[in-house]
Chains A and B, each alone.
Chain A
Amino acid sequence: MFRVAKRDGARVTLTLDGEPIGATAGDSVLAALLSHGPILRRLEFGGEPRAGFCLMGACQDCWVWSEAGGRIRACTTPVAEGMRLFTEAQVQARG
């Protein structure tokens, strides 16, 4: 994703798989993450890379993992300071 319009607002930092990503308040999580790299998540079935698709809350393909164990839909969720996000589930399956 490639930014072509400026935004005024507070700088926020979030992380994806531990890597810090700078964003501006008002950005969607999707725009923030995809401005930084091409991938949002790994598909549960086979691990192929995904980066969302419809960009308007319909296709449900951009749910990224959040620290709390839940998921957030990246295209409709605004960034917040300190968000820790992951491309894959962090819960370890019991051996």
Chain B
Amino acid sequence: MAEIVIVGAGPAGIAAAEVLVAQDQRVTLLDEAAQAGGQGYRRPSPSLAIDMAGLMGSEAGKYAGLHARFERLRPQLDYRPGTLVWAMDGDRLHVLTGGRAGTVRFDMLMLATGAMDRIAPLPGWTLPGVFTLGGAQVVLKDQGCLIGRRVAFLGSSPLLTLAAKQYRAMGGEVVVIADTTPLYAKIATSPALLRAPRTLLRGLAYTAQAMIAGTPLLNGVKPIAVEGTERVEALVLRDASGRERRFACDAVALGYGLKPETQLADLAGAEFAYDRDFRLFLPKADAFGRVRRGLYLAGDGARIGGADAAEASGALAAHAVLADLGLQQDIAAIRPLARRVQRLRDFQRGLARAFAWPSRQIGALPDETVLCRCERVTVGEVRGAMTKGLGPVEVNRVKAMTRCGMGRCQGRVCGPALQEVVAAAAGHDVEAGGRLRGQAPVKPIALVAAEETP
């Protein structure tokens, strides 16, 4: 029987495993986290008394449902939590479990590696107290902690209002919700959003609630800086009217939509293409998530679509696996799934257009802004390297010259912003500057991990 390995136990990985197990396939599910669910449906850590139903709001049913389904599925899987896939070699995944290196062989590999926040840097963003928007939600679900008592939400994302609502419900003070996209730009793209009206209504409801709660809700802002010496003291920005405003706070949540975690797809040899709506290089796959026979991508790790799309795309990719194994196909089930994935992803595409990634603002960041947190490389250092004779105009080359993207996170955080800074300095399109190529290890691994067990 074929060895089917799924990486990532979020909605996509779980839904895929469900379809495969129902067809009596043997499935190994590897997940870096200690508990299944992924980031969006993150479970509280053991013994934490937190009202998840209240926190998840309208998604509470789905959240509970996914975890219940996983519990039923679990005995039928080779489920390995706490397992990091750090490299690939042919038909072998190199993994790290409990600090030890090992390998897992596969015939069919599905990558459901999820996403993280996409970040636009601003001066002061490395100060303690500035966190990602997704992280601000994860630490609440997982640890029952707010990132601060007085929190500013900055970025361009419908999740700003959602997270702000959760924070307010849990007793946090929301000092401002500041979105870099002007309101008219959002409205102009709203026809695309009407394709998933339920989600749209939910977004509008959060916005209305924020307004009722008296939180300043600003559109079309230009971030200036996070101020503070040893920690966040204030967020300073220019509002749409051009007025500079200072919001005293002890934490800032930053989020400009999500970016897929594509490192493993890269190591597996997937091709990437530039997507103008998301302004990201994304791995190429067919409508089922098939990169080639034996390699499949599902969930937000393939295309940002949200939890519902992740589930549907996981199931869809599982059907592609079954088809490629020559097993009987339930055509009746596939068509609605494919339509559902398409519809939800189209909606996210609309969102990506509405809540625009602020390319121009990033290209124009002041020189002293830190771009690469890991190696502490500034925007000015990148521009300086590029304007020298024979200066690089391609991102990997810029990385080689400046160390931007060369540190512990391997460009996960700074990559999208680096692309914009390079494109602006070179005067060319982002696509022409290329993308940071992935290299193993996907995350840092200690030398001791390589020790052979006696």
Touch A–B, Cβ below 8 Å: yes
Instruction: Give the distance in Å from the alpha carbon of A51 to the alpha carbon of B408 in the complex.
Output: 15
Q: Which of A38, A43, A76 contacts B230 (CB 8 A)?
A: A38
Q: Which of B33, B140, B144, B376 contacts A7 (CB 8 A)?
A: B144
Interface residue ranges of A44-90 to B (CB < 8 Å): 45-46, 48-61, 63, 70, 75-76, 78
Interface residue ranges of B398-454 to A (CB < 8 Å): 407-409, 412-413, 443-444, 446, 448
Contacts of A5 in B (CB 8 A): 44, 48-50, 144-145, 170
Residue picked from A24, A50, A76, most chain B C-beta under 10 Å: A76
Q: Which of B130, B148, B408 contacts A1 (CB 8 A)?
A: B148
With A49-B230, A54-B117 given, is the CB distance from A60 to B47 under 8 Å? no
Tell me, yes or no, whether B23 is within 8 Å of chain A by CB.
no
Nearest CB of B to A11, in Å? 12
Residue picked from A26, A35, A39, A55, most chain B C-beta under 10 Å: A55
Instruction: Give the distance in Å from the alpha carbon of A7 to the alpha carbon of B50 in the complex.
Output: 9
Q: Which of B33, B128, B146 contacts A2 (CB 8 A)?
A: B146
Instruction: Give the distance in Å from the alpha carbon of A1 to the alpha carbon of B170 in the complex.
Output: 13
Interface residue ranges of B353-384 to A (CB < 8 Å): 373-376
Interface residues of A, count at CB 8 A: 43
Tell me, yes or no, whether B341 is within 8 Å of chain A by CB.
no
Contacts of A34 in B (CB 8 A): 128, 145
Q: Which of A30, A49, A52, A61 contacts B231 (CB 8 A)?
A: A49
A1:B145 contact, CB within 8 angstroms: yes
Residues 146-175 of B, flagged 1 when their CB comes within 8 A of A and 0 if not, give 111100000000000000000000111000
B117:A49 contact, CB within 8 angstroms: no
Tell me, yes or no, whether B326 is within 8 Å of chain A by CB.
no
- Determine, out of B131-139, B282-290, B300-308, the stretch whose residues face the partner at the interface: B131-139
Considering only CB atoms, which chain B residue lies closest to A32 in the complex?
B143
Q: Which of B32, B138, B230 contacts A55 (CB 8 A)?
A: B138
Contacts of A91 in B (CB 8 A): none
Contacts of A75 in B (CB 8 A): 139
A4:B171 contact, CB within 8 angstroms: yes
Nearest CB of B to A43, in Å? 6
Instruction: Give the distance in Å from the alpha carbon of A77 to the alpha carbon of B139 in the complex.
Output: 13
B130:A53 contact, CB within 8 angstroms: yes
Instruction: Give the distance in Å from the alpha carbon of A59 to the alpha carbon of B121 in the complex.
Output: 14
Instruction: Give the distance in Å from the alpha carbon of A59 to the alpha carbon of B256 in the complex.
Output: 16
Instruction: Give the distance in Å from the alpha carbon of A50 to the alpha carbon of B125 in the complex.
Output: 10
Interface residues of B, count at CB 8 A: 53
Instruction: Give the distance in Å from the alpha carbon of A68 to the alpha carbon of B302 in the complex.
Output: 39
With A1-B148, A31-B143, A53-B135 given, is the CB distance from A8 to B376 under 8 Å? no
Interface of A is mostly: loop
Interface of B is mostly: loop
A8:B47 contact, CB within 8 angstroms: yes
A58:B409 contact, CB within 8 angstroms: yes
Nearest CB of B to A86, in Å? 16
Interface residue ranges of A1-48 to B (CB < 8 Å): 1-9, 24-28, 30-31, 34-35, 38-40, 43, 45-46, 48
Residue picked from B128, B231, B375, B443, most chain A C-beta under 10 Å: B128
A56:B443 contact, CB within 8 angstroms: no
Tell me, yes or no, whether B46 is within 8 Å of chain A by CB.
yes
A55:B149 contact, CB within 8 angstroms: no
Instruction: Give the distance in Å from the alpha carbon of A61 to the alpha carbon of B335 in the complex.
Output: 43
Nearest CB of B to A80, in Å? 14
A54:B47 contact, CB within 8 angstroms: no
Considering only CB atoms, which chain A residue lies closest to B412 in the complex?
A58
A45:B145 contact, CB within 8 angstroms: no
Instruction: Give the distance in Å from the alpha carbon of A64 to the alpha carbon of B415 in the complex.
Output: 24
Q: Which of A6, A28, A63 contacts B45 (CB 8 A)?
A: A28
Interface residue ranges of B28-67 to A (CB < 8 Å): 32-34, 39, 44-50
Contacts of A51 in B (CB 8 A): 128-129, 231
Tell me, yes or no, whether B127 is within 8 Å of chain A by CB.
yes
Q: Which of A6, A28, A60 contacts B374 (CB 8 A)?
A: A60
B135:A43 contact, CB within 8 angstroms: no
Instruction: Give the distance in Å from the alpha carbon of A60 to the alpha carbon of B409 in the complex.
Output: 5
B49:A54 contact, CB within 8 angstroms: no
Q: Which of A6, A49, A50, A78 contacts B49 (CB 8 A)?
A: A6
Q: A residues near B, CB below 8 A?
A: 1-9, 24-28, 30-31, 34-35, 38-40, 43, 45-46, 48-61, 63, 70, 75-76, 78
Sample 20 A-B pairs with CB under 8 A, ordered by A number: A3-B145, A4-B170, A6-B49, A6-B144, A7-B47, A26-B47, A26-B48, A28-B143, A46-B376, A48-B126, A49-B127, A53-B131, A53-B132, A54-B131, A54-B135, A56-B116, A58-B409, A58-B412, A60-B407, A60-B444
Q: Which 10 A-B pairs have the closest CB atoms?
A: A5-B144, A55-B135, A51-B128, A60-B408, A5-B50, A31-B143, A38-B231, A60-B409, A38-B128, A45-B376
